[in-house]
Amino acid sequence: MSTTPQVTLNNGVTMPQLGFGVFQVPDEEAYAAVTSALESGYRSIDTATLYENEKGTGRAIADSGLAREDVFVTTKLWNDAQGRDAALRAFDASLGRLGMDYVDLYLIHWPAPAQDKYVETWQAFEEILADGRARAIGVSNFLPEHLDRLAAETSVVPALNQIELHPRLQQEELRTYGAKHGIATEAWSPLGRGNGVLDDDTVTALARKHERSPAQIVLRWHLQLGNVVIPKSVTPSRIKENIDVFGFELDAEDMAALAGLETGERVGPDPAVFGA
């Protein structure tokens, strides 16, 4: 098993704090990428219906030689399948593509508030959880107002909220909300995805100080904040580099310097309006 620290979700299920994402990895490349990740020590894999690579991801896990219970698998429901019946059908289809009889974590990919179906969708997720076909259920890209509505109208608190989170968009409000309500925070696009984070003078200076890569500095920052993080790469050397972040620590001065990179700029859509 990997030496990656574990995070305990609000229902007692544990997951690795650092996992591997496959966003924008074509299905035919996902098999090799996930195989490389598992060989490098990752034990958490994050996919989604939208990514169209559940088949390749599932085959790589099946062929890895690892026991199914040793790999934490997350997938997500896309916006076109919101609503109870559509969500249940979409979940069955995801299991079929993955070649699995359960997932460890199932997420609503976006609240899509204009559809006004995420409460009904969450009630379907509660059924899936009760049936044991997902060990935990959560959300992605939900804002406090969406989470407040789930709390008022449903019975299961999301185990996790996966959100865009990187040094340019540090999401203090959502991280604080999650900590208060027992909802783990997971970062997508943790390295900023081309918005200059890895070239920033502060990040590169810290990389020199610690004799690490800029990506390792940013991933270490996430871990020390308590975020679950899922970097993505298809390059074996970078896949290995991204999990090699447990042999050093950022000090308080380093963390303060990185906190100063906040600009509020997104690389992805605004959850308040996306997914109509």
Q: DSSP secondary structure string, 58-122? A: HHHHHTTS--GGGSEEEEEE-GGG-SHHHHHHHHHHHHHHHT-S-EEEEEES---TTT--HHHHH
**Phi, psi (5° rounding) for residue 221?**
-55, -50
The 10s digit of each residue's pLDDT in 166-186 is 999 999 999 999 999 999 999
pTM passes above 0.75? yes
Residue 235: predicted pLDDT: 95
Q: For 61-90, what is each residue's pLDDT tens digit? A: 999 999 999 999 999 999 999 999 999 999
Running DSSP on this structure, what letter comes out for residue 4?
P
Mean pLDDT of 107-116: 97
Residue 143 and residue 120 in contact, taking contact as beta carbons nearer than 8 Å: no
Confidence of residue 237 (pLDDT cuts 50, 70, 90): very high
Residue 270 has pLDDT above 80, yes or no: yes
Beta bridge partners of 72: 44
Whether 51 is catalytic is yes
Catalytic residue among 51, 106, 118, 177: 51
pLDDT of residue 193: 81
Provide the 3-class DSSP secondary structure of residue 8: strand
Given a cut of 50, is residue 40 above it in pLDDT?
A: yes
